[in-house]
Structure 1
Amino acid sequence: MPALPATDGATRSERLDRLPFTRKHGRLLGTAGIGWALDAMDVGLISFVIAALAQQWQLTSIETSWIASIGFVGMAIGATVGGLLADRIGRRSVFALTLLVYGIATGASALVGSLAALLVLRFVVGLGLGAELPVASTLISEFAPKRIRGRVVVWLEAFWAVGWIAAAVIGTFVVGASDDGWRRGLAIGMAPAIFSIVVRWGMPESVRYLLAKGRVDEAEATVREFERAAGVPAPTPPQQAEDEGADASARPASAPTASESRVSIWSAALRRRTIALWTVWFCINFSYYGAFIWIPSLLVAQGFDLVRSFEFTLIITVAQLPGYAVAAFLIEKWGRRPTLTVFLIGSACAAAWYGTASTEALIIAAGCTLSFFNLGAWGALYAIGPELYPTNVRGTGTGAAAGFGRIASILAPLAVPFLIAGGGSILLFGVFAAAFAIAAIAAWTIPEQRGTPLA
């Protein structure tokens, strides 16, 4: 039986870092993961709704593009504002609020009778969706034990595949089943509003956030809950450091100082990593949402009926799960930077292959390969972001990167019709492949943070 980690003289952050992964960690991961999956379900579901409405409402390609893009406008704003709020009012509160907002708006979307009303509600949905993701990954990063922090965040991101698979199942068997199927599918999307109650009362607030706000007693109580779950004895009070800043030696050499971290994510110590992170976020958003939001519609345009195209999309989506599993293993073996870079290179190659695929077998094979590498890259990216910033700007830094990336997710669905008209699938997926390649170059410049404590 391994010895329990020592706590005497350790800061509260160090005490969390030294713990084994317990059932309490698992419950936290599961709660955040369900919210993450519901987020993915909503984003994935709209691709099936778009394909159905294009036929029922006789929408043009520009109109269907806006159904997707207006949600990403909301996500860009939501990610930026959500990150700022998370640093001010707490990770847990923002996470619960975002679930409530987009759950109600998604359910209301099932009642619309016009394109204009749908666009307004999709914008509101985007506000909630955009804010949730960077906040959830920040919260999990701040609780995960240091030695497996990257792996735990990839596990969180793997819930995205669960949600997207749920969306594909709903799209195939609910949206595609009848003329009103899209309304029933969106009605199911109200689940996050109900789940937000569980989140608000069942999740702990980040210890690092509580310490940054001077709420030491609450932070200590939370740390003790996790220590009790691991069977770790309480430290003796005189030897307990007051906060994570008490032990300067615990700070990694590459981390910015406290005075620097209070300035901005654009301070001298953080500027290069911010630029690299924003570049990766922009390129991966452009390629991912440009491809996966449009795949059902592109398959219909290639001559497959609605149900058949939905079945293909479901098969392709399932390949996300092994992508996450491999990324979760490699991120603690290879490190963050090489794992992200390799998966982005694989995404570039898969995108180029998909653009030339013509038969059913090739479409499925190339689509599964793209799904595998692309979602593995997403897992690594979400693990990297929170590690690059100190506590008092961690939410801001991750949220701002996500917000900038959402600009690409706005542009991508709008660009697809023009790229298809200009050169078909070869040009479209060639552009996506180039974006993945640029992201891979940027990823290689991000500092490696494996095994380092959070600043």
Structure 2
Amino acid sequence: MSETRGSVSERLDALPFTRKHLRVLSGSGLGWALDAMDVGLISFIIAALTQHWGLTKGEGGLIASVGFLGMAIGASLGGLLADRIGRRQVFALTLLIYGLATGASALAGGLALLLIFRFVVGLGLGAELPVASTYVSEFAPARIRGRIIVILEAFWAVGWTASAIIGYFVVPASENGWRWAFVIGAVPAIYALVVRLGLPESPRWLAARGRTAEAEKIVAGFEASAGLSAPGGKPAGALRPEGGAAAGGGGSATAVGSTAAVASTAGAQAPVRNRLAAIWAPEYRTRTAAIWAVWFCVNFAYYGAFIWIPSILVDAGFGLVRSFGFTLLITLAQLPGYAVAAWLIEKWGRRLTLSVFLIGSAASAIAFGTATTEGAIIGAGMALSFFNLGAWGALYAVTPEIYPTSLRGTGAGWAAGFGRIASIIAPLLVPVLLGAGGAGLTFTVFAVFFIVAAAAAWGLVEYRGKTLDES
């Protein structure tokens, strides 16, 4: 390897996938799966509490929405904190908040206290997701970055499947089954916290903050894991600050456009107001508007549908246990959806993959809303899981790519935070839609949101195979 290949980005992008990459991916994916398990469990718990506590559909929607309110705030604050104090620190904090509040939720004796705990859980979960995708993307080599982020997102299917299994076997087992579900959800958070504390900080973030010695040590460790070294046994490449000139070479290693000052070390330390303004600067304005629109529409349709599917099936006369069994089958289709998206995202690119899966989601939503037989319900539901979760994988892959290192956490966090507004609205609006026109009208509305998201995806910038700092 040449001594002139010295920037953090160049050295990370030149690496093969190593055991250290696997550790970063699996450690982050564990927290991702816990997030999914918690969100998935709520759909089963709402259905159970409707029977045990006599909740109305409006109260059930409130339980879901207050959690998403916490997630909206958590995503926005988490992204800002990740750019300010580091990715790993925010990871540990989010898991601690999540674990404590989830365990406390099991002790709730009434709706008001449960709502408070669910809001706090949402704060932790909301900050977790955009920070995790930002963190993993900053370690991933450019040629496989999109695929790695889709694989990270696939941990969502693992967690949601776990929630479906718990929902099927634990929640309906007794009147307090939902409490045990919360306990099960809290225990793994302790292990995940330990794993997260053992992960390295993002060297791209460290370099952007001027902490080059720490970045050097981490990058050198990854190079050693890959068996790469320069002549004389020294780590390949002499580290220079992110975006600086190569040793012996002219020009900049990166091009971040008209907002280069924000992408500098000083920019990484800029006040919150400056970083928020930067993502709406002329260079990033179109992509920010597009990514916010996609996040909003996908959140509305996804959470509106999947939070309510168990309750919709119960209302259709299938019974609590049977409807939970249907939901488990539907959930299993998420994994192949992620697998196909992970393959296509490096073949077709981010925008095409995202838009195709969103159009497939729209068609599946219409099919599910009009299905009448058991086979049609399960088949359409599995198609909806396949396409919708594949779209989520592509969305999480593209979001951190469209901003430079100093703005990546802020940009991804605020896109997710804006999207969570839709996830707050959707669970509250679904009972109204069901009352006005049944499942047919409800899922047609979801299909419209998917189509709008597919169109908005073309306002994004394609960065397949490019280094993150070219964004």
Question: What TM-score, normalized to structure 1?
Answer: 0.96
1:58 aligns with 54
Query: Aligned pair 1:376/2:401, yes or no?
Result: no
Deviation at 1:249, TM superposition (A): 4.8
1:324 aligns with 338
**Structure 1: runs of 5 or more not aligned:** none
1:259 aligns with 261
1:240 aligns with 238
Q: CA 1:234–1:124 in 2, change beyond 3 Å: closer, same or farther?
A: farther
**Which of 418, 426, 434 is equivalent to 1:420?**
434
Task: Map 1:314-393 onto structure 2 (within 5 A).
Answer: 314-393=328-407
1:47 aligns with 43
Query: Aligned pair 1:292/2:295, yes or no?
Result: no
2:138 aligns with 142
Task: Map 1:29-44 onto structure 2 (within 5 A).
Answer: 29-44=25-40
Structure 1: distance between partners of 2:330 and 2:37: 15
Deviation at 1:444, TM superposition (A): 1.4
CA contact (8 A) 1:7 1:15 kept: no
CA contact (8 A) 1:92 1:199 kept: no
**Which of 271, 288, 302 is equivalent to 1:274?**
288
Letter in 2 for 1:198: V
CA contact (8 A) 2:229 2:235 kept: no
Query: Aligned pair 1:401/2:410, yes or no?
Result: no
Letter in 1 for 2:309: I
Structure 2: distance between partners of 1:238 and 1:127: 41
Deviates more, 1:104-113 or 1:429-438: 104-113
CA deviation profile, 1:201-226 (whole Å, cap 9, x unmatched): 31010001111111111100000110
Q: CA 1:260–1:12 in 2, change beyond 3 Å: closer, same or farther?
A: closer
Structure 2: distance between partners of 1:424 and 1:18: 53
2:248 aligns with none
**Structure 2: runs of 5 or more not aligned:** 246-250, 268-273
CA contact (8 A) 1:250 1:453 kept: no
Deviation at 1:178, TM superposition (A): 1.3
Structure 2: distance between partners of 1:340 and 1:398: 17
Question: What TM-score, normalized to structure 2?
Answer: 0.93
2:449 aligns with 435
Letter in 2 for 1:366: A
Structure 1: distance between partners of 2:176 and 2:461: 50
Query: Aligned pair 1:250/2:246, yes or no?
Result: no
2:270 aligns with none
CA deviation profile, 1:394-450 (whole Å, cap 9, x unmatched): 000000000000000000000000000111111100000000000000001211110
Structure 2: distance between partners of 1:260 and 1:215: 17
Letter in 2 for 1:177: A
Structure 2: distance between partners of 1:7 and 1:371: 48
1:105 aligns with 101
Structure 1: distance between partners of 2:236 and 2:81: 34
2:91 aligns with 95
CA deviation profile, 1:5-61 (whole Å, cap 9, x unmatched): 555432122101110001110111011001100110001001100000000000111
CA deviation profile, 1:262-312 (whole Å, cap 9, x unmatched): 451011101100000000000000000000000000000000110000000
Q: CA 1:323–1:436 in 2, change beyond 3 Å: closer, same or farther?
A: same
Structure 2: distance between partners of 1:260 and 1:100: 31
Structure 1: distance between partners of 2:171 and 2:2: 54
Structure 1: distance between partners of 2:230 and 2:191: 33
CA deviation profile, 1:80-130 (whole Å, cap 9, x unmatched): 000000001100010111011011101111111100000000000000000
What is the count of residue pairs matched by the alignment? 450
Structure 2: distance between partners of 1:237 and 1:341: 41
Query: Aligned pair 1:218/2:238, yes or no?
Result: no
